[in-house]
Amino acid sequence: MNLVADTSKFDPVVLELGRLFTDAGYELSLVGGPVRDLFLGRISPDLDFTTNATPDEILQVAKKWADSHWEMGRDFGTIGFRKRNSNKEVLLIEVTTYRAEAYDPQSRKPVVAFGTSLIEDLQRRDFSVNAMALRLPAMELVDPFGGAEDLAAGLLRTPGKAEDSFSDDPLRMMRAARFASQLGFSLHPDVLSAMTGMAERISIISAERVRDELVKLICGAHPRAGVDILVGSGLADLVLPEIPALKLETDEHHRHKDVYQHSLQVLEQAASLETGPDGAVPGPDFVLRFAALMHDVGKPKTRRFEPGGGVSFRHHDLAGAKLTAKRMKELRFDNDSIKAVSRLVELHMRFYGYGEAGWSDSAVRRYVTDAGPLLERLHRLTRSDVTTRNQRKADRLAFAYDDLEERIAVLAEQEELDSIRPDLDGGAIMALLDIKPGRVVGRAYNFLLDQRMEYGPLGAEKAEEVLRQWWAEQPESQPAPAVEA
C-alpha cells in the first residue's frame, strides 16, 4: 500500500510559524503524530514542532506572534502557544527543543538532555511511524527510520533497539498495545519479544499514566487486539491481572475455549452497539467497553465443580463488581467511572431468566430503577453478552430482550419510569405523621417507594391511606408507657 502525505490540508499558520523560525536563524519541523496522520489522511487537532532553539529562544521568536503562551513544560524544553487562524479557529501548538533523553532505570521521571540534531531527536521517539518530521517551511520529509514504509505495512517498530526504547520509557510498551488498538497495526517480532521480556518494568510507571494509556486502548477502533497484546506480552499480569486470569476458566455453557475469549468477543460486540454523537450511547464509550471486558472477572473466584460434571459461577456478578472497583481504584480512576463500570458488572446477569419466568411490572420497574442512568449501557452490555453459536438460543434471548425493552418503553410512557418517586415526598410524610426529620422519615419514604414499585402510581389519597396503615404498626407510633408516680 502506497501512502502519500497530503500537505495541502495544512493550516497556513504552520508555514507561517516555520518562516518565523527560519528567518530568525533556527530550524523548525512538524513532528510525530501530526506527520503520521497526514499519511493516514487525517488532520491532527494538536500541532507538535521540534527545533534547535532553546526554550528562551523559542519564546523570543514566537511570543509576540501567538495570542497566548504557557511554559508548564519548560523543564522538558516545551513551550506551548495558542494561535487563532484566519477562520477564527484556535490552534494549540507545542514547540520543543531537540532532545536526547536519558532515563534513570529506577525512576518514573525522565532526565532531559537537550540535543542539537533533528535525527537524534527522532531516534529517541517511541516508534518509527512517529519518528517522521516535515522541515518547515520547505515541507521536506525527514524519515530516517522508515516510518512511512512501516505505516504502509501497518507495522509498529522502534527506531532503534526495542529494548533500549522500552528501558528509556517502559510506558512505550503500553503504547504499542494502544496503537495496535487505535490503528489496527501489528507489532514487529522484536517489539513483542522486548515487551514480553521487559514487562515487569511497567511497575515503575505511575498508575495514572498506565490508566490513561488503558483508556485510549479500550476506546480504540480495535480494542480486542490491544487487550490481546497486553495479555500475550505479560503486561496485563501487572496492570490488569483479572483479564489473563480468565484464560484459566471454562465457560459454563462451553461456548468458547475459555471465558477470556468470550470476554473479548463481548467487548467487540458492545463497541459495535455504540451510537453516533446524538444517540443514547455515543461511541467510543469507555464505561460500556470496560464493563464488557470486566463483566466476568468474578468467575475465577466463584468457580465450583458440580457433582454432575458441570461448572457453576454463582454470584460471579457481585464478586466481579468488587474486583472491578478495586482494580479501577488502584489505577486511580475517578469515582464516577468506578461506580458506573462496577454497577454494570453487578447488573449484567439481572436479565437472565426473564424469558422463562416472566417478570411482573414491579420487576421491570426495579430493573430500570436499579440501572438508573446506566440503562442504555446495560441494554447494550446484556445483548453483547450473548455469544452462543446456537442460533436458536441466541434468537430466543434476543427476542426476550426485545420484549423487555418494549415493556420498559410502554411503562416509561405511562409512568415516567426513569424518575420513579413515591407518591408523597418527605415533607408530606412528616406532615401526615407529625414527625420530625430523621431515620423514621427515610423508612417511611422507602416503604412508599416499595409500594410504588410494586403497584405503580397510587395517587396521594391511596398513598396516605397505606402510609397510615404502615405507621400504625411501627413502634415509634405507639404512645410512651406511663411513668408510675
Parallel, antiparallel or unpaired: strands 102-103 and 28-31: unpaired
| DSSP notation for 198-234 | HGGGGGGS-HHHHHHHHHHHHTSS-HHHHHHHHHHHT
Mean pLDDT of 76-98: 92
Fold type of domain 241-419: Hypothetical protein af1432 (1.10.3210)
Q: pLDDT, tens digit, for every residue of 259-288?
A: 999 999 999 999 999 999 999 999 999 999
Instruction: Kindly give, in sequence order, each residue whose CB lies less than 8 Å from that of residue 231, ignoring residues fewer than 6 positions away.
Output: 243, 244, 247, 260
Please tell me which of 188-192, 244-248, 404-408 the model is most confident about, judged by mean pLDDT.
Answer: 188-192
**Dihedrals phi, psi of 79, to nearest 5 degrees:** -120, 130
Contact 20, 66 (CB under 8 A): no
- Band of the pLDDT at 294, cuts 50, 70, 90? very high
**Residue 139 has which C-alpha cell?**
515541507
Closest CA to 169 of 216, 116, 112: 112
Sheet with 28-31: strands ordered across: 68-70, 78-84, 90-97, 46-51, 28-31, 133-135, 140-142
Q: pLDDT, tens digit, for every residue of 375-421?
A: 999 999 999 998 887 788 888 888 888 989 988 888 887 766 666 78
**Dihedrals phi, psi of 205, to nearest 5 degrees:** -85, 140
Residue 459 has pLDDT above 70, yes or no: yes
How wide is the angle at C-alpha 157 spanned by C-alphas 153 and 163, nearest 5°? 165
**Residue 306 has which C-alpha cell?**
458440580
Confidence (pLDDT) at 188: 97
Name which residue leads in pLDDT, 75 or 191.
Answer: 191
Confidence (pLDDT) at 379: 94
Contact 155, 140 (CB under 8 A): no
Residue 348 has pLDDT above 70, yes or no: yes
Task: Report H helices in 127-279.
Answer: 147-153, 162-168, 171-183, 189-198, 207-218, 223-233, 236-239, 259-272
Confidence (pLDDT) at 255: 40
Phi-psi region at 188: left, alpha or beta (left = phi > 0; alpha = psi -120 to 50): beta
SS3 120: helix
Class of the 7-153 domain? alpha beta
Give the up-direction half-sphere exposure of residue 117: CA atoms within 13 A in the CB hemisphere.
8
C-alpha 149/C-alpha 160 separation (Å) is: 16
Same topology for domains 7-153 and 241-419, yes or no? no
Distances (CA, A) of 142 to 115, 121, 339: 17, 12, 47
Q: Cis ω on the peptide bond leading into residue 170 (within 30° of 0)?
A: no
Contact 385, 344 (CB under 8 A): no
Name which residue leads in pLDDT, 457 or 262.
Answer: 262
Other residues' Cβ atoms within 10 Å of the Cβ of residue 213 = 22
**Residue 191 has which C-alpha cell?**
517489539
pTM above 0.95, yes or no: no
Residues constituting the chain: 485
Q: Where are the domains of the chain?
A: 7-153, 241-419, 426-473
C-alpha 379/C-alpha 384 separation (Å) is: 9
**Residue 108 has which C-alpha cell?**
518514573
Residue 480 has pLDDT above 70, yes or no: no
Confidence (pLDDT) at 251: 47
Please tell me which of 310-319, 331-340, 435-444 the model is most confident about, judged by mean pLDDT.
Answer: 331-340
Confidence (pLDDT) at 481: 63
C-alpha 239/C-alpha 330 separation (Å) is: 9
Q: What percent of the chain lies above the pLDDT cut of 90?
A: 63
Give the torsion through C-alpha atoms of 214, 126, 103, 59, to 10 deg.
-100
Name which residue leads in pLDDT, 420 or 339.
Answer: 339
Query: Which secondary-structure segment (H or E) carries 141?
Result: strand 140-142
Task: List the single range of 9-18, 236-245, 473-482 with lowest mean pLDDT.
Answer: 473-482
Residue 258 has pLDDT above 90, yes or no: no
Mean pLDDT of 167-196: 96
C-alpha 199/C-alpha 389 separation (Å) is: 36
